[in-house]
Each structure stands twice: as structure tokens, then as C-alpha cells.
Amino acid sequence: MVVFAEGMNISEEVEQHIKKLGFDAVFLDHYIDPQDTTAHLSDLLHWSPQGQALVAKTILEHIGEMRASKFKFSTQAHSLDPVSK
């Protein structure tokens, strides 16, 4: 997984290329406003503790989505079975 910090201005072409290569990517621009003073310290460059928590939550949720798409719950076997592609 590749994580791009907010404000990096990653082009749509780069985003599509990353997906084409098969990498999962999180673009924090989709989740954090670079001007959000609650998520950043006063320099608007570094994350505040609240911003760090938001980034961690965002990445964790993305990892959960990745896992859910790659595994299915088998009620018969009561286990996680890989989903064949």
C-alpha cells in the first residue's frame, strides 16, 4: 500500500498508473483538508495529535477494506478463506 500525504497534488495519471500496477493507494487529500487547523500544527505542514489519529484511522480503515475484498468469511468452515480472482 502506498500512502500519499495531503497536499502532494498527485495527478490522476499517477493515481491510475499505481492502480494499474496493482498497488493499493490511499490519497489523504480525499480525507484531510490541508488547511484544517485541527488536523495540523500551526505551520500547516505537520499533523497535530488529532491529525495523526485521523491519518491512522484512515489507513486502518483502508487496510480493513483491502482485507475484506481479499477474504470472505466462510460460515461453513468458520474461517477466513481467500477469494479467488
Per-domain boundaries in the chain: 2-82
**Please, are residues 29 and 7 in contact by the beta-carbon 8 Å criterion?**
yes
Cell numbers describing residue 82: 481467500
54: Cα separation from own chain's centroid? 11
Within 10 A of 33 (CB to CB), how many other CB atoms are there?
12
Short-list 20, 19, 16, 48, CA closest to 32: 48
Q: Using one digit for the tens of pLDDT, what is the confidence trace for 4-62? A: 988 888 888 888 899 899 888 888 988 888 888 899 999 888 999 999 999 999 999 99
pTM: 0.69
Residue 84 has pLDDT above 50, yes or no: no
